[in-house]
Every structure is written in C-alpha cells, then in structure tokens.
Amino acid sequence: MFSKILIANRGEIAVRIIRACKEMGVATVAVYSEADKNALHVALADQSYCIGGPEASESYLNENQIISTAILAGAQAIHPGYGFLSENAHFARLCRKNGLVFIGPDAESMERLSDKAVLKELIQKTKLTVIPGTKAVASMEEAKLAAGKIGYPVMLKACAGGGGRGIRLIRAEEDLEEAYLQATSEALSAFGDGSVYLEKYIFPARHVELQMLADEQGNAVCLGDRDCSLQRRNQKLIEETPSPAIGGEQRKRIIALATEAVQKIGYVGAGTLEFLVDRDGNFWFMEMNVRLQVEHTVTEMLTGIDLVKWQIRIAAGIPLNFTQQEIRMKGSAIECRINAGSCGTLEMLHIPGGPSVRFDTHLIAGTVVSPYYDSLLGKLVVFAKTREETLRKMRASLCELVIDGISTNIEEQLRIVEDDRFTTGNYDLTFMGNR
C-alpha cells in the first residue's frame, strides 16, 4: 500500500480523501492556493504545500507544480478528487512518466472513454443501448437525412460543447435548417469548432447513473443506481439511491448489463455510467465519468462500501474482496447539496447528527468562501431503512443545519424535500423548470 498520497484538490473532497487515508494509515500531502491557506484540508493533512495563486490555473490546475510537490514530499500516488485534473489524460500520463501512481484510470482509457464517438462505439459492442445519434455531420443535407433516420424530435449539439451551450431542440424537419445554421455559428464562436452532431431527444426523462468499481484483475461490480434528476441548468441539487423510478427486476438487469460492459471495455477504478431513463423505463446510455462523483456519498451510505478507500486499493493493485451478491442495497439514502449563494466568512456552523446523518464539508469556523472556486459548501447525506424515513430524517437534518455568515440554499432544499412530487418519487429532469 502507498505510504503517502498527495491530494490534488481542495474543499470537501480533499477532506474526504484525507479522512480515508487517515483510516488506512496513509500519510497525506495537501496542496493549496493562496486563497485556501487556512482551509480545513490543509489543517488535516500531514504535510501541506502552497502551490500558487488563487486562480485554479495557477494552482489546482498547475500540473507541473503538483507533480513537483508530490516528488518533493515523497508521495507515491496522487488522488485527483473530482473536477480539476481528475479527467485529464495529460496529467495522468505526466504522473506515470514521473513514477507516480494516478489514482484513477490510465491515460489511454481516459482518452478512449472521454471521446464521445469512441465511447459510443465501444458501448455499442456491449448490450447497453446508446442514445441513437450521429458523429459530426458534415452538412445540412447530411443532418436532414440523419434526423429523418433517428426520428424527430432530435437534439442538435456542438461536438466541442459543454455547460448546456450549443444545444438546440428540433421538433420537426421544417425547423432544422434555421437551427443548424444557428447552432454551427454559435459553436464556432463559443468553442472555436463549428461541428455539430445529432442525438435522439429523450423526453421526459430521468437522469439515472450507475456506480461501478473494477479492479486490475478484471473483476467488476455495480454498487447500485443513483437518481440525479433534480438539476438546475445541468447542476445537480439532490441525489438519491435507489431511484424510486426503477423496479427490482429492471435494476437487476441493468446492473448485469453494466457490469458486463465495464469488464468488456477493460475499465479499472471507480466510474459512473450515466443514462437517461425514459417514461417506458428504457435505459439510454449517455456518457461515462471516469472519476469519483460528488454524490458518491449516497452509494456509500446505502452499501456501507467506502469508495475512496477502494479507489486507492485498486490503484495499488489490490483485487476487490467482495462479489456483486455480497453488496447490500437495502434502504434509501438522499443527499442535498448545500451551496453558497454569495461569498462571505463563516460566522457560525452547527452540523446535525444522529444515526446515519452525515455532512461532508470543508467548513470550519472562520472559513472564507471566495469567488475562485465552485459554490459547494457541503453535502448533507442521510440514510434510513425506508424512503419515507429518509425523507423525515433529511427534513429534520436540514432544519438543524446552521451556516451563518454565508447565504445558502438550505431553505430551497427544504422546500424540495417537502414537495409532493419529490416525496412521491414522481419527478424528472423538468422538476426545476428545465427542458
């Protein structure tokens, strides 16, 4: 096992990883920007190094600084967390070149799986169903032909797009020409690449993802599904497991297919397969995230399996020591993301407790929430034997959570968990007024 790991991240996930390391007896190295010099992850780690200015590009995205720090500090491995460099194949390669273990998939897998076209081709060879679509279309005529084949309505998306930009919904053929011209020109100006592709429009839909773990020896397991349909502008707000929309047999089937697929593509590490589930319960494969997710917590609460520890063990070549049949998936877990509405200094923090109540945060007294990073303050996660009890626990815990000095979305989250649509499990991606 590695005796020292550098955590190339900040905030609540850096704290999370350091906690796992402490339990495993692994020494920890934190890196921080000037804006984070008093952060909790810095205080918790065994060693800490300032690696640059507050802008992410100067610090948390500064690959060379991070590698040098790892070598200087004597770390054998780097955990990238989520965001920042966690899905950066160049950084993974740089780690390998410098004799460091990148805790995640290898660079080549990352490249393969992040190329949407390559990934779709790989997945098409498994028994999972990919959202019907095209590669980049070369012309309007090609787009018309392809859209006719897929069947309206279709989504027109920028190949280089992201963050919800460069996406157009086309309901009928007569709308295609104008949409195509607008989408290609928007993509060119926003991303420097005007190429677009088409995808079937799955609506109404829920966003359901599967947590996968696979080791070097070719063993793969699925730790269940998460329903992440509660989103605003593609930002997840609340996640739960299991999804109230998926039945027992359906779940068994998709778990078996997903596990087989992960083995077939030779993936190693923790990863998430994302799907859109339509009204008929069909799973349409969207994409794969080759890192730990923010909402890994609900899976941990449900299964009792520590995902961060297993990421580290898998990176050290240790095989999984449990089978699919041994994974417990009884009960219900919900996570509410607590986000800052503004910058500010934390004046008072009170964290709820009790059985199966968890708050993953980087907040301690005096924490300054700066404008440089994402607004996530913490994740409130609860678990109980039934969904009804979990909802009760979440309501009680949200009411007990106090974060003074910074405006937060606690009250909005409370309204959501009291909303009939959420309590009955009858919600989808349109809940927050999205498409």
Partner 1 sequence: MALINFLKPKNQLEEGGRSAALVQRDEGEPEKKCPNCHKDIPLSRLWANRLVCPCGYHFRMKARQRMKMLVDKDSFQELFAGMKAGNPLNFPGYRDKAENIRAASGEEEAVICGTAEIGRQSCCLFIMEPYFMMGSMGSAVGEKITSLFEYAQKQRLPVVGFTVSGGARMQEGLLSLMQMAKTSAAVKRHSDAGLLYLAVLTDPTTGGVTASFAMEADIILAEPGATVGFAGTRVIEQTTKKSLPKGFQKSEFVLEHGFVDAIVSRLNQRKMLAEILKMHNGG
Measured from the CB of residue 363, what is the shortest distance to partner 1 in angstroms?
Answer: 13
Residue with smaller CB distance to partner 1, 105 or 194: 105
Residue with smaller CB distance to partner 1, 44 or 294: 44
**Residue at 272: amino acid letter:** T
Q: Which residues pair with 391 in a beta bridge?
A: none
Could you give the CA distance from residue 192 to residue 184 in angstroms, rounded to a whole number? 10
Answer whether the bond into residue 153 is a cis peptide, omega within 30°: yes
**Residue at 80: amino acid letter:** P
Q: Is 171 a known active-site residue?
A: no
Answer whether the bond into residue 319 is a cis peptide, omega within 30°: no
Residue 198 has a CB neighbour count (10 Å cut-off) of 25
Could you give the CA distance from residue 291 to residue 114 in angstroms, rounded to a whole number? 11
Residue with smaller CB distance to partner 1, 74 or 247: 74
Residues in the chain, total: 435
Residue 245 has a CB neighbour count (10 Å cut-off) of 18
Residue for token digits 């999972």?
128
Measured from the CB of residue 25, what is the shortest distance to partner 1 in angstroms?
Answer: 4
CB contact set of 232 (below 8 Å; sequence gap of 6+):
432, 433, 434
Residue with smaller CB distance to partner 1, 199 or 300: 300
Residue with smaller CB distance to partner 1, 100 or 228: 100
Measured from the CB of residue 131, what is the shortest distance to partner 1 in angstroms?
Answer: 25
Residue with smaller CB distance to partner 1, 75 or 255: 75
Could you give the CA distance from residue 81 to residue 7 in angstroms, rounded to a whole number? 7
Measured from the CB of residue 36, what is the shortest distance to partner 1 in angstroms?
Answer: 11
Residue for token digits 């778990």?
255
Q: Which residues pair with 236 in a beta bridge?
A: 231
**Catalytic-role residue among 291, 313, 358, 387:** 291
Could you give the CA distance from residue 68 to residue 63 in angstroms, rounded to a whole number? 9
Q: Say if residues 71 and 49 touch (Cβ distance below 8 Å).
A: no
The span from the first CA to the last CA of the chain, in angstroms, equals 47
Could you give the CA distance from residue 247 to residue 244 in angstroms, rounded to a whole number? 8
317 three-state secondary structure: coil
Could you give the CA distance from residue 390 to residue 395 in angstroms, rounded to a whole number? 9
Measured from the CB of residue 12, what is the shortest distance to partner 1 in angstroms?
Answer: 16
CB contact set of 421 (below 8 Å; sequence gap of 6+):
427, 431
Measured from the CB of residue 108, what is the shortest distance to partner 1 in angstroms?
Answer: 8
Residue with smaller CB distance to partner 1, 32 or 275: 32
Measured from the CB of residue 321, what is the shortest distance to partner 1 in angstroms?
Answer: 10
Phi and psi for 151 in degrees, rounded to 5?
Answer: 100, 125
Residue with smaller CB distance to partner 1, 216 or 419: 216
Q: Say if residues 143 and 198 touch (Cβ distance below 8 Å).
A: yes
Q: Which residues bind partner 1 (CB under 8 A)?
A: 1-3, 22-26, 38, 42-44, 46, 76-77, 96-97, 99-101, 108, 216-218, 266, 268, 313, 316-318, 364-366
Could you give the CA distance from residue 60 to residue 341 in angstroms, rounded to a whole number? 23
Measured from the CB of residue 318, what is the shortest distance to partner 1 in angstroms?
Answer: 4
Residues annotated as catalytic are: 291
